[in-house]
């Protein structure tokens, strides 16, 4: 890998990120894996990978044309994928707006030559990675709600020690107000 890796994502408000970090620290021991930093708590909608600048520009133009309504995201489910080593938070019942947005972005990415997974979209926010041992998940009953009014094109640097994702562009969703 030499260049940046790109993806579309839902970024979470800083206050919610801090709440999730505190909840994670309370419910998951430090030896479960490597916790993601608060700023890294986001939901990937479509992975693009390493693509050319012209593809980035084309996908930005395509994303700017999306006219999807804003929606409320509820994080009320947790899980562990031992094979990939991820502990995550998700929605027991994902809002249709989220599923439609991800489907649109994945279809546009695929048309631009960015392979997409064959598995259905499973909306989740990764909390911990490198969790390859069995883990005990928290009891049901937790829940966070946040209004999603935009999505982002993110980039991860291709090399160097600091690999935090940075926002390349934000794209608004339609709010409830009538224009």
Q: Which residues contact 107 (CB under 8 A, 6 or more apart)?
A: none
- Residue 158: predicted pLDDT: 82
Contact criterion met (CB below 8 Å) for 33 and 128: yes
pTM here is: 0.94
Query: Hey, is 6 helix, strand or coil?
Result: strand
Give per-residue pLDDT as tens, 56-84: 999 999 999 999 999 999 999 999 999 99
Give per-residue pLDDT as tens, 15-59: 999 999 999 999 999 999 999 999 999 999 999 999 999 999 999
- Residue 178: predicted pLDDT: 46
* pLDDT band, residue 177 (cuts 50/70/90): low
- Residue 161: predicted pLDDT: 59
| Model confidence at 176: pLDDT above 80 | no
Give per-residue pLDDT as tens, 121-143: 999 999 999 999 999 999 999 99
- Residue 163: predicted pLDDT: 76
Question: Strands (DSSP E) along the chain, which ranges?
Answer: 5-11, 34-35, 42-49, 71-75, 77-81, 86-90, 124-129, 144-148, 150-156, 166-172
The mean pLDDT value of the chain amounts to 94
Q: CA neighbours within 13 Å on the CB side: how many for 79? A: 13
Q: What is the mean pLDDT of residues 154-164?
A: 80
Report CA-CA distances (Å) from 76 to 59, 129, 171.
31, 19, 26
- Residue 160: predicted pLDDT: 62
β-pairing, 124-129 vs 34-35, is: antiparallel
Give per-residue pLDDT as tens, 82-99: 999 999 999 999 999 999
């Amino acid at each position: 890998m030499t260049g940046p890796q790109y993806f579309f994502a839902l970024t979470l408000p800083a206050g919610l990120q801090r709440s999730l970090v505190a909840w994670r620290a309370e419910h998951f021991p430090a030896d479960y894996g490597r916790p993601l930093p608060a700023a890294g708590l986001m939901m990937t909608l479509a992975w693009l990978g390493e693509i050319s600048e012209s593809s980035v520009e084309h996908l930005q133009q395509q994303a700017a044309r999306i006219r999807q309504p804003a929606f409320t995201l509820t994080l009320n489910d947790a899980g562990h994928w031992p094979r990939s080593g991820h502990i995550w938070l998700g929605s027991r019942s994902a809002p249709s707006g989220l599923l439609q947005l991800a489907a649109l972005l994945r279809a546009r990415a695929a048309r631009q030559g960015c392979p997409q997974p064959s598995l259905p979209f499973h909306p989740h926010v990764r909390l911990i990675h490198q969790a390859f041992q069995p883990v005990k998940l928290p009891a049901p009953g937790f829940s966070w709600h946040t209004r999603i009014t935009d999505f982002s094109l993110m980039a991860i640097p291709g090399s160097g020690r600091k690999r935090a994702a940075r926002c390349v562009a934000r794209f608004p969703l339609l709010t409830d107000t009538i224009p």
